[in-house]
Structure formats: structure tokens, C-alpha cells
Amino acid sequence: MAVSAPVGIDELLERVREGLDRVEPKDAHDAAQAGEALLVDIRYAALRDRDGLIPGALVVERNELEWRLDPQGSHRATEATSHDLHVVVICNEGYASSLAAASLRQLGLHRATDLTGGFQAWRAAGLPVTA
């Protein structure tokens, strides 16, 4: 098996994002409201406790994401209905979510993407947040 040359995280992130159609907060909100996208919050509990939640978003810890969203998986969330599901992954600032969306795409969720700027951009846009 050939070993690839090391890649730094900035380069990896850039490569991953080339394959994503990242979503702006208002567009994500509108798609979720129309039932056209599933928002998935992967922030850890301390950030959710500190900053609040996006109403209607599915909360899935990052270390469980692939298991919960694989439509063929035995541990899938009820929302994980098909590989055509438009998933918008949300982290705190929009970095980890890009890598998470790429991982979901490797599972066949070809419409998985992430929220540009993450939860902080959502909140800055004045979109709904609950305590």
C-alpha cells in the first residue's frame, strides 16, 4: 500500500471544501423551514449549553455522526431516511463541520454539506436560537 505525502490541516480543509456546496445561514434556515434540509448540530455540550440551540436541528455529537446518519446503519437516527437527504452540518465556526460533511459524503450522503461560519454565523445573522 502506497503512503501519501503528509497534508496539513489547512490544505486538507481547502481540498474538502472544494467538493462541498457550502450553505449560508439564511439559506440553511430557509431550506430547513421548507423541509428541504436537515440541520445537524455537532457542537459539544458545553458550547450548546453556553450559546443555545438552533430550533429543529438534530443534535449529534461529532463522534457519533456517521453512525447516526448512515441510512443503512443499525444505530441511525430516525431522520436518516436516505442517501439523498440534504444534510447541513453545523459546528461552532464552520471548520470541523466541513470535515464532518466530507465524511458523510464518503458514506454516500452525496448532498451533505456544512454551514459557512457555523453556529456563530447563524447567531450573527439573527436567526432563531433557543436556550
Q: Residue ranges of the domains in the chain?
A: 20-125
Work out the pLDDT band at 74, boundaries 50, 70, 90.
Answer: very high
The CATH number given to 20-125 is 3.40.250.10
Beta-strand relationship, 58-59 and 38-41: parallel
CA–centroid distance for 42 within its chain: 7
> ∠ CA(55), CA(105), CA(75), 5° rounding?
65
Q: Distance of CA 70 to CAs 35, 40, 52, 127, Å? A: 19, 13, 26, 28
Above 80 in pLDDT, residue 58?
yes
CA–CA distances in Å: residue 28 to residues 5, 15, 19, 67: 36, 22, 18, 23
Of 86, 78, 106, the C-alpha closest to 39 is 86
Look at residue 3 and tell me whether its pLDDT is greater than 90. no
Name the pLDDT band for 38 (thresholds 50, 70, 90).
very high
Q: What is the mean pLDDT of the chain?
A: 96
pLDDT at 5: 85
pLDDT for residue 108 is more than 90: yes
Q: By percentage, how much of the chain surpasses pLDDT 90?
A: 94
The whole-number pLDDT of residue 29 equals: 98
Per DSSP, helices labelled H in the chain are 9-18, 25-33, 45-51, 65-69, 96-106, 118-124
- Residue 39 in contact with residue 57, Cβ under 8 Å? yes
